[in-house]
Structure 1
């Protein structure tokens, strides 16, 4: 007794139009009155609507629906309703179904009998969902009392792609087993349980239709009338580029079995890529994941359920150093030409802070200090400018607070405050603390998403863009009901010359510095390596970074690549993270070159003979440069201090940033 979902299917299955009088074809529905015939029934059911799709920025599906089939037992109306006969009849059909499909459940005798007593007009689902191909093979072998019921099912065509962002659905509840209630669903309905599926559940849920069924006392259908059509839910259009996301996850799989990559459009704030490796197949949750399957994922030491891109907090290590340099230049503690003596190590208390190369570099200014990622230079300059200054700038760059993207479980990271240090260590901030924080170690923690966001702000010239992960939400008719527009989250108030000097240092990181492995032949990359200690001291686990933006002159794309080292593995940003950059960006060379190409110059159109600047006597049009409009007004800094998260200690460590 397949339940049709459209008026055309109703006509095909019953031979009567839903709007036509049933008496013209079938016996009178009045014969099914429940007042004079105990086995007659009038049933009203809800036809669940399909969920709306989740798609990428180019329209490719990330989550959609498909029609699947389930084997079901359909009882007949017995003249003699003895329990033994009812159970035996049902049991024989269950055994026949088990021969047709391996995913058939085996209801107990009481379930079979109670279904007949209360729900024999409706099918009793026996099997797990199967694809149309398998259903077609089974259909000719169906015996009396067995049917194939078509239902909607959520489907993730890209399996584990962007799994931590998309999320998954779960069943609202099992179908009722007692007497039939008005408007109960024809099959199990679903709801969002994680990611976009949960956050945008109301937008993705559609509007159901209703089906009215009338049976006479012999179990014969007198009327089948559908009211309305199920209306699918709206669509959520992500900013994610599926092609780029695929490549990013492939690069992570090749270069970093455990890591993350984020790519952001500097101009619009759109997140084009947010990949965490490893992930998991979202289809495991459809129609439901078993406890055994879930335990395998939960207990996996690689933590596939853990979204490293936005839930993983790591010391940003030397990728944090451009912030210290920016603060020092902006506060005029140093100039472009100020030199600082850089020995092989500095001593703070009982600790030595070594340069990664363990070499004496002599007198260095800011640009070569960034190029060679010199720890002693940043430790000294960090103390000169003061931790309050560079940590305050870090907060304006988005560190220490969530981005505000529609993400479940996003971690805020940690930017320490004097209150945090007093509460945690019962002492004030020391020079050793400031030195350690200046090289992105100790209590400073950030997610790859935050690091990429900070690079976007440096890249676009001093404004922290508001990030977007959803371009628009559409209703079921395709009308846009919500859309994202480029916005500024914070105006940094940084001197542009300071930004230019830091950019130059980051350009030289790739051009002969510690990040040579990140270079591209077709455009200049600005970047920063980073290598730090992460996790418990007992594990001695390292983390490697390469973060930056491109092109160097007019940045359009910001990014962060994270390599999570194995316990005991020696890692470096130049060796482990930097090679991910060409591995990813070279795959989209032509596309990105078009994206970053300078805008064409505007043409001023005038009538021939008009006298105006840029117009020749012959009336030939000339290109006239159009100056950019200065529309950005400075806003006050955000002085809110985020709640600090605990860390193990503030001990100084040795960083390694070499190639």
Structure 2
């Protein structure tokens, strides 16, 4: 039958044999080419796939470096933590939700909400259900992980804070990296599972603290069980950081804020190098809570607290400086030709320009006033007169010379610059001209001018050093393998006024503390010469004025510059002065062994 078909086609037997041979050769040729392609061109790819089927790669997290205070006491360290990740993105069933709820102890409603709305990693597509899984629960899931293919328990190094309710704005906290943060940091060695610093020192020095990850290659069997380690590189612990902060003073002042129900900032720093011993922003927030899942009731309580606990008032709180501004602008008056001994006669109770009048804070006035008395008793009318005479440009130039209106460069994130106003600034901001009343308000540290407490602290370092200040800093040493590397102190301000100007202002500031009518006499301390200026700044958000005081001690060889702002607390000399006096006494005892009067039994 077949032969008849071939005959019909005109093909004889010999030709049929030849065609069959050619067909077989072509078929073998195709197979040979395919084999060559798979062996030569695709060989490495398939070898890698085969290797990957029997080898697993795991990255080992590094232990984060410790944070220590100036005395070497640990503030922040690390411990093992656990996260529960969901591997099915948003897909789920009532049974899965029920199983996870029973495993973890969290409500079904909470689990369902996390699956629906939790942040899913852009790269691993994992949905983190529980950020801070209890250790017992984690081990229970580890034992039965094969029964829950939609779950993964991830181990990580969790931060432990030894002072969980102290120094929160200064220290900051760590938390899992967000998708946005990962996009910005992935080229710097970060993974989408890392925890990173979110605020304060933890954020600013994250690259130093985080360490370097290690890795391991495991050979596994068909069931995925590890057989042996093929290759590994250990992780490197992050470097430790030692702060300039003395936690004894830090916690002491925070407790005083708490006892007296105060809100605000307290800064104490060394003018000789910019090192900060104390930087309190109160109220604080709980670092241990912020480093894990924040319960909604805790978050709402913090978020809607009128005292704004999340704001670092020391570096980001912008306030009118009030009368602590007067010694600074006085340099502008002196540089414009003011004779410090020139006396304003009369009661100095009211300053008038035409039909406009501005009163002194003291009923009845202060009587005849020269520059020294204007600072000692905080005589507003003196500054109204010379502010009006010399103009806003002189005040602005002096303020900028002392570093106001710009960031100090402190080594933690979130600093604000404040405002040093000018006619040009007001025109741009409000589309309005500059009025005489603007200058009058400006002359007593009110109106449009705002500063941060850290700016005032640096400005008063210029006064203490008689012409220069260092950039404020909170980190003293970077420690690697027990070797300390000191951070560099930089001069950031040099204010070249004549030395006699500094002497005139310092003499007046000593009078603030030591004279009978000085507004800061609450600071007076036996055998300690202190220079200071108190202030009370009006504001629209509080019934009482902000209480402010700034200064330095001991005069002649200053160790400490202080700057204090208490929101809506009242008088600067009385309220801020009383808090500062407590600090001075504590500092004198801790650093010089000097007990305050009547405290003979303290050891």
- TM-score band, normalised by shorter chain: 0.7 to 0.9
CA contact (8 A) 1:70 1:127 kept: yes
Taking the TM superposition and a 5 Å limit, the aligned residue runs for 1:170-569 are 170-172=175-177, 188-225=193-230, 227-289=232-294, 293-336=298-341, 338-348=343-353, 351-424=356-429, 429-475=434-480, 477-479=481-483, 483-485=487-489, 487-511=490-514, 512=516, 513-535=518-540, 540=543, 542-565=545-568
Q: C-alpha displacement at 1:424, in angstroms?
A: 4.5
Q: In the aligned structure 1, how far is the partner of 2:153 from the partner of 2:446?
A: 61
Task: Decide which moves more: 506-515 or 327-336.
Answer: 327-336
CA RMSD of aligned residues (A): 4.0
Q: Does 1:54 align with 2:67?
A: yes
Q: C-alpha displacement at 1:276, in angstroms?
A: 0.7
Q: C-alpha displacement at 1:505, in angstroms?
A: 1.5
Q: C-alpha displacement at 1:262, in angstroms?
A: 0.8
SS at match of 1:206: coil
Q: C-alpha displacement at 1:203, in angstroms?
A: 1.6
Query: In structure 2, do the counterparts of structure 1 residues 415 and 542 end up closer, same or farther at CA, with 3 Å as the change threshold?
Result: same
Q: Deviations over 1:597-648 (max 9, x none)?
A: xxxxxxxxxxxxxxxxxxxxxxxxxxxxxxxxxxxxxxxxxxxxxxxxxxxx
Task: Decide which moves more: 515-524 or 409-418.
Answer: 515-524
Q: In the aligned structure 1, how far is the partner of 2:229 from the partner of 2:109?
A: 29
Query: In structure 2, do the counterparts of structure 1 residues 128 and 419 end up closer, same or farther at CA, with 3 Å as the change threshold?
Result: closer
Q: In the aligned structure 2, how far is the partner of 1:473 from the partner of 1:249?
A: 26
Report the counterpart of residue 579 of structure 1 in structure 2: 578
CA contact (8 A) 1:261 1:559 kept: yes
Q: C-alpha displacement at 1:332, in angstroms?
A: 3.2
SS at match of 1:534: coil
The normalised TM-score by structure 1 is: 0.69
SS at match of 1:423: helix
Q: Deviations over 1:163-210 (max 9, x none)?
A: 112222221369xxxxxxxxx999942122222222222222211111
Q: In the aligned structure 2, how far is the partner of 1:213 from the partner of 1:490?
A: 57
1:162 to 160, 167, 174: 167
Q: In the aligned structure 2, how far is the partner of 1:478 from the partner of 1:431?
A: 61
CA contact (8 A) 1:204 1:236 kept: yes
Taking the TM superposition and a 5 Å limit, the aligned residue runs for 1:11-26 are none
Q: In the aligned structure 2, how far is the partner of 1:329 from the partner of 1:91?
A: 75
Report the counterpart of residue 21 of structure 2 in structure 1: none
Q: In the aligned structure 2, how far is the partner of 1:425 from the partner of 1:143?
A: 66
Q: Deviations over 1:90-133 (max 9, x none)?
A: 9998677447x99998699x99xxxxxxx9xxx9998764677x
SS at match of 1:227: strand
Query: In structure 2, do the counterparts of structure 1 residues 376 and 107 end up closer, same or farther at CA, with 3 Å as the change threshold?
Result: closer
CA contact (8 A) 2:103 2:137 kept: no
Q: Deviations over 1:416-440 (max 9, x none)?
A: 1231233346565444332221111
Q: Deviations over 1:228-286 (max 9, x none)?
A: 21111122332222222112222222335211101111111112211111110111222
Q: In the aligned structure 2, how far is the partner of 1:420 from the partner of 1:220?
A: 69
The normalised TM-score by structure 2 is: 0.75
Q: In the aligned structure 1, how far is the partner of 2:313 from the partner of 2:128?
A: 40
Q: In the aligned structure 2, how far is the partner of 1:155 from the partner of 1:413?
A: 34
Q: In the aligned structure 2, how far is the partner of 1:446 from the partner of 1:591?
A: 31
Query: In structure 2, do the counterparts of structure 1 residues 214 and 287 end up closer, same or farther at CA, with 3 Å as the change threshold?
Result: farther
Q: C-alpha displacement at 1:289, in angstroms?
A: 3.3
Relative to its length, the structure with more helix (as a share) is: 2
Q: C-alpha displacement at 1:288, in angstroms?
A: 3.8
Q: C-alpha displacement at 1:462, in angstroms?
A: 1.7
**Structure 1, unaligned runs of 5 or more:** 1-32, 74-86, 112-118, 175-183, 596-659
Query: In structure 2, do the counterparts of structure 1 residues 492 and 365 end up closer, same or farther at CA, with 3 Å as the change threshold?
Result: same
Q: C-alpha displacement at 1:375, in angstroms?
A: 0.8
Q: In the aligned structure 2, how far is the partner of 1:406 from the partner of 1:363?
A: 46
CA contact (8 A) 1:544 1:564 kept: yes
Query: In structure 2, do the counterparts of structure 1 residues 394 and 45 end up closer, same or farther at CA, with 3 Å as the change threshold?
Result: same
Query: In structure 2, do the counterparts of structure 1 residues 264 and 97 end up closer, same or farther at CA, with 3 Å as the change threshold?
Result: same
SS at match of 1:364: coil
Q: In the aligned structure 2, how far is the partner of 1:148 from the partner of 1:379?
A: 68
CA contact (8 A) 1:173 1:188 kept: no
- How many pairs align? 520
CA contact (8 A) 2:104 2:137 kept: no
Q: In the aligned structure 2, how far is the partner of 1:53 from the partner of 1:586?
A: 31
Query: In structure 2, do the counterparts of structure 1 residues 351 and 407 end up closer, same or farther at CA, with 3 Å as the change threshold?
Result: farther
If you compute each CA radius of gyration, which structure gives the higher value, 1 or 2?
2
